[in-house]
Amino acid sequence: MKFTAAQIAQYLQGEVEGNPEVIVSDLSKIEEGVPGTLTFLSNPKYTHYIYTTKADVVLVDKSFVAESAISATLIRVESAYQALSKLLQLAESMKPKKVGVAPTAILDESVKMGEDCFVGNYAVLGSGVRIGNRVKIYPHVHIDDNVSIDDDSIIYSHVTIYENCVIGKRCVVQAGAVLGADGFGFAPDEQGHYQKIPQIGNVVLEDDVEVGANSTIDRATMGSTIIRRGVKIDNLIQIAHNVEVGEDTAMAAQSGVAGSTKIGKRCILAGQVGVAGHLHIADGSVFGAQTGVPSNIKEPNQLWQGYPAMPVGTFRRLSVIQKQLPDMHKKVYELEKRIKELEK
């Protein structure tokens, strides 16, 4: 569809600077902008592209100050990134909606399904499954007995959801994710052989949770592994049994959380963060990439880095010292040598 800059600005409650009648029909990256597209600027690292982009319309923050002439029409908004998100949501909502049950899907006769749902080919829904309104279940999904999926959630292809799990409203589970597999529970006997501990709990996703592709969330030994409202989980993440992840926490790829750890609200785990088991992580904690967390984090709203996790200022000073260690070692060796000569 085609929109003028004026129409877009009205929808975003923004201000047009330039030609309000210029028409765009697609989106582009600012460094690859072409005529007829809209792009955005939110990261200062890309500011230089705004002076050369071929895109016709650029979303910018109201605080943006141009240093030279810009050929594109600007739409000034409070947050260019949030405005782009709003436009993408609009574009997504305008796509045709799939509805109905595909002929090769297998649904137990006890399945209860709401209005305007979609179930793709070769999807399997077990006994006692309850599906809300406008839920989308893509091909090759396996949903085991007594699973509940609430309104407007989307389950993409090849997802497996084990028995008794609960999925809230507006959740998105990306392809290949596994919810409710057994937690890693084993106990050694007198001979040192591991005996499996049955995992009889479930997984609960509250509303507005997103789980990335090929991520795994294990069922609780007893009770529930709980992912609270608004949590965003990237691809390739492991969450162990009985973990609780607080509201609006975000976890980037290849992070892992061991069993029974409680992560607070609004935390951020950058890529490859590892959190040990049975810990409590304070609200607002931010862990840089590859941070290892072996003990409780009690101070809220702090930035941590390294292993063991330490305040980021300490980590940076330590990094500087580590780079100097070869020269320091050489100097110590020379000093030791001179001291021995003086002693002689």
Instruction: For residue 198, give the DSSP letter.
Output: P
Q: 239-264 burial by CB neighbour count: b if 16+ within 10 A, else e?
A: bbbbbbbbbbbbbbbbbbbbbbbbbb
Task: List, in sequence order, every residue forming a beta bridge with 181; answer none if it has no partner.
Answer: 218
Dist. CA 276–CA 292, nearest whole Å: 8
Dist. CA 167–CA 156, nearest whole Å: 14
Q: What's phi and psi for 107, nearest 5 deg?
A: -120, 125
Beta-strand ranges (E) seen in 90-201 are 100-101, 106-107, 112-113, 118-119, 124-125, 130-131, 136-137, 142-143, 148-149, 154-155, 160-161, 166-167, 172-173, 178-181, 186-188, 194-196
CB neighbour list of residue 47: distance below 8 Å, 6 or more residues apart: 41
- Concerning whether 193 is annotated as a catalytic residue, the answer is no
Q: Exposed (0-12), middle (13-18) or buried (19+): which is 44, by Cβ within 10 Å?
A: exposed
**What sign has the CA pseudo-torsion 7, 170, 126, 236?**
positive
Half-sphere exposure of 277 (CA within 13 A, CB side): 11
Catalytic annotation, pick one of 241, 278, 280, 329: 241
Dist. CA 126–CA 119, nearest whole Å: 13
Active site residue ranges: 241
